[in-house]
Amino acid sequence: MLPYRPKQGEIPTSPGVYRFRDAEGRILYVGKAKNLRARLSNYFAPLHTLHERTRRMVTTASSVEWTVVGSDVEALQLEYMWIQEFSPTFNVRYKDDKSYPYMAITLADEAPRVIVTRNRRIKGAKYFGPYPKVWAVHDVIDLMIKVFPIRTCSDASYKKAMATGRPCFPGQIGRCGGPCSMKVTIEEHRAIVDDFVAFMAGGDQRFARALTARMREAAAAMDYEAAAGYRDKLQAIEAVLGKSALVLSDDTDADLFGIAEDELAAAVQHFVVRGGRVRGVRATTIEKEIDISGAELVDQVIQRTYGDAAAADIPKQVLVPALPDDVAELEQWLRDKRGKNVTIQVAQRGGKADLMRTATLNAQQALMLHKTRRTSDYVARTQALTDLQEALGLATAPLRIECFDVSHLAGTNVVASMVVFEDGLPRKDQYRSFSVAETTDDTDSLYQVLTRRLAHLDRPEDADVEIAAAAIDAEQASADGEVATVRKRPRFAYPPQLLIVDGGQPQVAAAARALEESGHTEIALCGIAKRLEEIWLPGEEYPVILPRTSEALYLVQRLRDEAHRFAITHQRKRRRRDISSVLEEVPGLGAARIRALLRHFGSVTALRGATVEQIAELPGIGPKLATAVHEHLTSR
């Protein structure tokens, strides 16, 4: 029972915002609720039923308070304001991968100019982007000023040119089309700027049509010089449009969010679609400190993206992977900010769903890269090993770590993997895979594999014997006139300082038994359970909970994920070999046709369940051969 828990009748049933504080009065967490009583009662459920991170938050807190508001939309606004003001420890934390470059038009200036900037606070500026690279912005500007020649020179050059009546230097070489070039008036230049902005805002096809018409008129009048000028401008417009391919209908203005997440972090890919084209992409990494669902994460992403956004930057449609519970309130909040209708939807089919899949794939890659960078950075690696040493109570930092995972297919085809990290980095040349012939369950498989691996620690001469045998084989091959390559296997006899197994108490107990029976209790052991990412030690009743932002947890998670990937890869290769060996017995079925069957069906089970007609549909396999394959598999 938490001492600060309010009485049930004290909490109102109105919408509002609540705040958990610690003993020093610091705000730990801010949340909103349509019904404060119903929402807060979830936090005061029996502690053993709470997610570990939520339990840590409510036990760290020493008080909770709330503010009642008049509507759900007001709760949304107040929650966003307080999160921005207090940066609570247990709310999700955002980290942009980088400060992205934008194209900006300084509309507040007498003669607006186009610039490349990372500053989003230029007063009166109109922004386009963000762009992935600075050179990408410059490329677009170079093309655009051929069609819409607006000012590019600095403010100092502009003032000097207007005061002296002499063109600015960029204007002299044809790189500036402002009034400072002495070719247009301020009013004429403003009209060109308006066209520039209109084109960038929606890729307006009317400019292409107008230029095409003028080019044809000039050619018909045999004014070939003017026609060539219009042609060059038309090519520049086509080049600009080509840099942002048309992905949706040209009247589509939308923001699309692809999200990939795990228990510790999430990556967000924000695609800005204007006029049916992807005009910019922004990547954001989110570090989670408390358990949060996918829909709640979408809620937080929308609030952060549009909290300080100008009305012009809010599109009429927001596409997300999952709808938040308060989607109606979010839509109302966005409508109030934009001054026009805004809808939040999940892309179900067609081009929008395809683009969502692309954004999600990008987010998955960004999340993987984020985790990889953390474990490959020297400072982060050092911190991870130090944190792991302290958390597990080790005498020294575990410089060599081996992680084991067991994989099977419905209880059959059991394999296991061993991945090795040294100094926090993967040593892929020392990865190993194991096949398990007979086993009762995953814990027995893990026990068998570890027993086999640990046996090599007592036979360091094995590696030397293998190398010597390889050298003899190579010498014999050379004598026969063949080209031979000696591959020295890495010494399997190096002892790890830490063994990690994928799993909780049962898996750790099986691994501890293998260590004890092999006489290697000096090797530290732990397991990582997937559900809550907790660390289990042998014989302990409760797990070790590492902070979500801990470098040690990222390292252990990376080891577990790598072991799982390697085990699955080995199992797939083995399954394909098994399929090939079965199919090679079919007369007339060569290697090329076996590969075609594997690509199409993927497994013997799927192929065995296929009809003769389905098998015969594959190119190169007629009815006769399909019948032979079907009869061979069904007779086994």
pLDDT, position 217: 78
484 has a pLDDT exceeding 50: no
Q: How far is CA 377 from CA 198, 383, 384, in A?
A: 44, 10, 10
d(C-alpha 269, C-alpha 362), whole Å: 7
Residues with Cβ within 8 Å of 175's Cβ and at least 6 positions away in sequence, in order, are 145, 152, 153
% of the chain exceeding 90 in pLDDT = 5
Q: Is the pLDDT of residue 516 over 60?
A: yes
- Contact between 4 and 64 under an 8 Å Cβ cutoff? The reply is yes
Q: Is the pLDDT of residue 455 over 80?
A: yes
Q: Is 224 left (phi over 0), alpha (psi -120 to 50) or beta?
A: alpha
The pLDDT score that the predictor gives to residue 465 is: 43
Do 315 and 335 touch, CB atoms closer than 8 A? no
Q: How confident is the model at residue 372 (pLDDT cuts 50, 70, 90)?
A: low
pLDDT beyond 70 at 326: yes
How many alpha carbons fall within 13 Å on the CB side of residue 339?
5
In angstroms, the Cα distances linking 126 to 105, 108, 271, 308, 483 are 5, 9, 18, 15, 66
Which segment of 292-301, 331-340, 364-373, 533-542 scores lowest on mean pLDDT?
Answer: 364-373
Q: Rounded to an integer, what distance in angstroms lies between the CA atom of residue 281 and that of residue 263? A: 25
Read off the pLDDT band of 541 (50, 70, 90).
Answer: confident
Q: What is the pLDDT of residues 194-239, one digit of tens each?
A: 888 877 766 556 666 777 777 787 777 777 777 787 777 766 666 6
Instruction: Please write the tens of the pLDDT for every residue from 424-440.
Output: 888 888 888 888 777 77
Question: Across the chain, what does the average pLDDT equal?
Answer: 78
Structural element, H or E, at residue 101: none
Q: What is the pLDDT of residue 478?
A: 39
Cβ neighbours of residue 553 closer than 8 Å, sequence gap 6 or more: 264, 533, 546, 547
Q: Which of 54-58, 89-93, 498-502 has the lowest mean pLDDT?
A: 89-93
What's the CA dihedral at 123, 127, 133, 134 to 10 degrees? Answer: -50
3-class secondary-structure state, position 5: coil
Tokens of 626: 């399909």
Among the ranges given (160-164, 211-215, 326-330, 443-447), the one the predictor scored with the smallest mean pLDDT: 211-215
Eight-class DSSP state of 495: P
pLDDT for 510 = 92
Average pLDDT over residues 243-266: 72
Contact between 106 and 116 under an 8 Å Cβ cutoff? The reply is no
Neighbours of 216 (CB within 10 A): 12
The strand pair at 524-529 and 498-502 is best described as: parallel
How far is the C-alpha of 146 from the C-alpha of 167, rounded, in Å? 18
- In this structure, of 29-43, 83-97, 377-391, 576-590, the range with the lowest mean pLDDT score is 576-590
At residue 239, the pLDDT reads: 62
Q: How far apart are CA 43 and CA 60, in angstroms?
A: 13
- What CA–CA distances, in Å, run from 223 to 207, 212, 390? 20, 14, 81
Residues sharing a CB contact under 8 Å with residue 525, sequence separation 6 or more, in sequence order: 498, 499, 500, 501, 508, 511, 512, 515, 537, 538
Over residues 392-409, the pLDDT tens digits come to 888 888 888 999 988 876
User: Residue 315 CB: number of other CB atoms within 10 A?
Assistant: 21
Selection from 23, 126, 137, 26 nearest residue 85 by Cα: 26
DSSP 8-state secondary structure symbol assigned to residue 12: -
Q: Which residue has the tokens 């083995």?
A: 574
Lowest model confidence (mean pLDDT) among 101-115, 294-308, 572-586: 572-586
Phi, psi of 403 (to 5 degrees): -120, 135
3-state class (DSSP) for residue 125: strand
pLDDT for the residue numbered 475: 42
Q: DSSP characters for 28-92?
A: EEEEEESSHHHHHHHHTS-GGGS-HHHHHHHHH--EEEEEE-SSHHHHHHHHHHHHHHH--TTS-
Q: Is the model's pLDDT at 566 over the cut of 50?
A: yes
DSSP 586: S
Residue matched to tokens 């219009």: 230
Residue 144: name the closest of 213, 233, 273, 245 by CA: 233
3-state SS track over 397-431? CCCEEEEEEEEEECCEEEEEEEEEEECCEECHHHC
- Residue 570: pLDDT above 80? no
0.75 cut: is pTM over it? no
- pLDDT in the model for residue 498: 92
Q: How confident is residue 329, by pLDDT bands cut at 50, 70 and 90?
A: confident
Structure confidence at residue 245 (pLDDT): 46
What SS3 state is found at 469? helix
Q: Is the dihedral of CA 617, 619, 623, 629 positive or negative?
A: negative
Pick 384 or 581 by higher pLDDT: 384
> pLDDT band for position 183 (50/70/90)?
confident
- What average pLDDT does this structure show over 239-248? 53
- How far apart CA 209 and CA 196 sit, in angstroms, is 15
Higher-confidence residue of 498 and 361: namely 498
Longest dimension (CA), the chain: 97
Residue 512: its pLDDT value, please?
92
Tokens of 291: 């358990």
**Which of 133-147, 294-308, 513-527 has the weakest average pLDDT?**
133-147
